[in-house]
Structure 1
Amino acid sequence: MPRLTIVVAATRNNGIGRNSQLPWRLSKEMAFFKKLTTTSPEGTINAVVMGRATWESIPKKFKPLPQRANIVISRNEQYELMSVDAGAPSTPVYLHSSIESAAARLVGPYSMERPLHRSFVIGGAHIYNATLALPPTSDTFVDRILLTRILSPAFEDCDVFFPDFLDDNGTDGNGRSWKRASFEELKEWAGFDVPEGIQEENGVQYEFQMWVR
């Protein structure tokens, strides 16, 4: 059964957004995100799970995110994912009204057009919180976070935040320990060369990290 992997870029203070947009523009980081979420064995597909606001933040020309099954969660069961003039999407797009129903699709053996390889949660804050709260008995328990840690500047004007997944004891609040994986473990899991150490782009310093529990 597929576990969930969260993918997020966050400041040291866990800021992830400002005025419904990303506070930074990092083309190399976005290229990493694309490669990470599209890389899968031949004949399989990855899924990206997101909330409605995250879906709406994607520019129209990039929707749905190509080469991935797009799963959008909205309480509005009549929400129109694609405009009537958009034509048939080039990749599968599914609307679900809850985390639970989306999870049922992810674990169902015949619920995708191709066998599912990995499932990535890509935002926003509500979806991050809800999936991190799934119990370890859940088939779609979050066991991995691919974190792009924005080191500087601080982006103190962020108004949306990723949940603080580590408490003072390095656990998730329920006694399960998070551990930062080594760079070699990150590269091996990703399946491609990942830039190592502190990266700098457009005056922003950041680092690719992987956390597991």
Structure 2
Amino acid sequence: MLYSIILACTFDGGIGYNNRIPWDIKDELFLFRQITGNKDQFKQNVIIMGRKTWDSLPRKPLKDRINIIITSDKNFINEDNVLSFDNIVSAFEYCERTVNINKVFVIGGKSIYDLCLNNEKYSRNIENIYLSIIYRYYYCNLFVNLKYILTNFKCDHETIIFHPQFLHMRMTKN
């Protein structure tokens, strides 16, 4: 099953500080909603995230998408448009066997990104990486391997968005 990763980071790969995104850039969040939001009335998009990412969301669930949380908590609440699995394999299997799924996006956090990028079993199924690089320096203590992404994926130049606060691009496998 093909899926996409969407992430925003600093020039050095910083994605968070103490399990929070250190920047608040409205246009970048709008872009996130545009990409992960659903445009097909008969199918739904899925966003997959770790529990810490879920906990950090100010409003949840993220509407108009199926929210899948990877957590070891067996008592995690499953409700409308919110599902939990104890591993990413089960989440991907659910997406494969569910007919009304349009697109699947991995939205973080660090451990989920690392698993998808650093494990050949998962990285070979990445269709796109939607990457926003934040121009300004922010202190971070959570990082992704940006060098790996820039080395193993190429920019689709037709998708580049230059914004005063960030650069956004869609990347595909080399």
Is the structural similarity TM-score above 0.5? yes
Mapped partners of 2:3, 2:118: distance in 1: 12
The aligned counterpart of 2:72 is 75
The aligned counterpart of 1:130 is 115
1:166 maps to 2:165: no
| More strand per residue | 2
The aligned counterpart of 1:13 is 12
1:56 maps to 2:45: no
Q: Shift of residue 80 of structure 1?
A: 3.6
Mark the structure with the bigger radius of gyration: 1
Q: Shift of residue 167 of structure 1?
A: 7.5
Mapped partners of 1:139, 1:8: distance in 2: 15
The aligned counterpart of 1:179 is 154
CA contact (8 A) 2:46 2:66 kept: yes
Mapped partners of 1:53, 1:9: distance in 2: 16
Q: Shift of residue 165 of structure 1?
A: 5.0
Q: Shift of residue 42 of structure 1?
A: 2.3
| More helix per residue | 2
State the Cα RMSD in Å. Answer: 2.2
CA shift in 2, pair 1:167/1:27, >3 Å: closer
Q: Percent identity?
A: 28
Q: Shift of residue 140 of structure 1?
A: 7.9
Q: Shift of residue 134 of structure 1?
A: 4.2
- How many residues are matched? 173
| 1:181 partner SS | strand
| 1:166 partner SS | helix
Letter in 2 for 1:57: S
Letter in 1 for 2:86: S
Letter in 2 for 1:69: I
| 1:49 partner SS | strand
CA contact (8 A) 1:14 1:163 kept: yes
The aligned counterpart of 2:24 is 25
1:118 maps to 2:103: yes
Letter in 1 for 2:169: Q
For structure 2, list consecutive stretches of 5 or more residues without a partner in the other structure. none
CA contact (8 A) 1:132 1:141 kept: no
| 1:122 partner SS | strand
Instruction: Give the TM-score, by structure 1 length.
Output: 0.74
CA shift in 2, pair 1:107/1:167, >3 Å: closer
Which of the numbers 149, 156, 161 marks the counterpart of 2:133? 149
| 2:146 partner SS | coil
Mapped partners of 2:171, 2:31: distance in 1: 17
For structure 1, list consecutive stretches of 5 or more residues without a partner in the other structure. 82-88, 172-177, 188-195
Letter in 2 for 1:67: D
Which of the numbers 63, 68, 76 marks the counterpart of 1:66? 63
Q: Deviations over 1:73-101 (max 9, x none)?
A: 001222246xxxxxxx5x51111000111
| 1:126 partner SS | helix
Letter in 2 for 1:74: T
1:209 maps to 2:169: yes
Letter in 2 for 1:12: F
